[in-house]
């Protein structure tokens, strides 16, 4: 299996009461859900990462190079 590409989706929203409690954030602080799926050259998912972060404590930067000895991934 060769990693070809990944898709990352970021969604900002207000947290549930349980999420706010677990993240120890104050009322009114939004969260960002980051859902990242890594695919192989056959478009099959290899890995899924689902993260919830307090929006007031994080900055996001993505640099993704998916290459191997055969060159860059399909996309």
74 assigned to some structural domain: no
pLDDT at residue number 67: 65
Q: What is the CATH number of the domain that holds 19?
A: 3.40.1410.10
56 assigned to some structural domain: yes
Q: Which residue in the block uniquely carries the two structure tokens 């009461």?
A: 17
72 assigned to some structural domain: no
19 assigned to some structural domain: yes
Q: What is the DSSP letter of 10?
A: E
pLDDT at residue number 73: 52
Q: What is the pTM of this model?
A: 0.80
| Number of domains composing the chain | 1
pLDDT at residue number 62: 85
pLDDT confidence band for 64 (50 / 70 / 90): confident
Range of the domain at 45: 3-67
- What's the mean pLDDT in 46-66? 92
73 assigned to some structural domain: no
Residue 12 backbone phi and psi in degrees, to 5 = -90, 135
Residues in the chain: 75
- What's the mean pLDDT in 32-59? 96
């Amino acid at each position: 299996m060769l990693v070809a590409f990944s898709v990352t989706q970021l969604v900002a929203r207000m947290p549930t009461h349980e999420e706010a409690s677990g993240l120890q954030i104050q009322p009114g602080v939004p969260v960002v859900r980051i859902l990242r799926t890594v695919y192989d050259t056959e478009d099959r998912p290899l890995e899924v990462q689902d993260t919830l972060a307090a929006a007031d404590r994080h900055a996001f930067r993505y640099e993704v190079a998916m290459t191997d000895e055969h060159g860059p991934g399909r996309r």
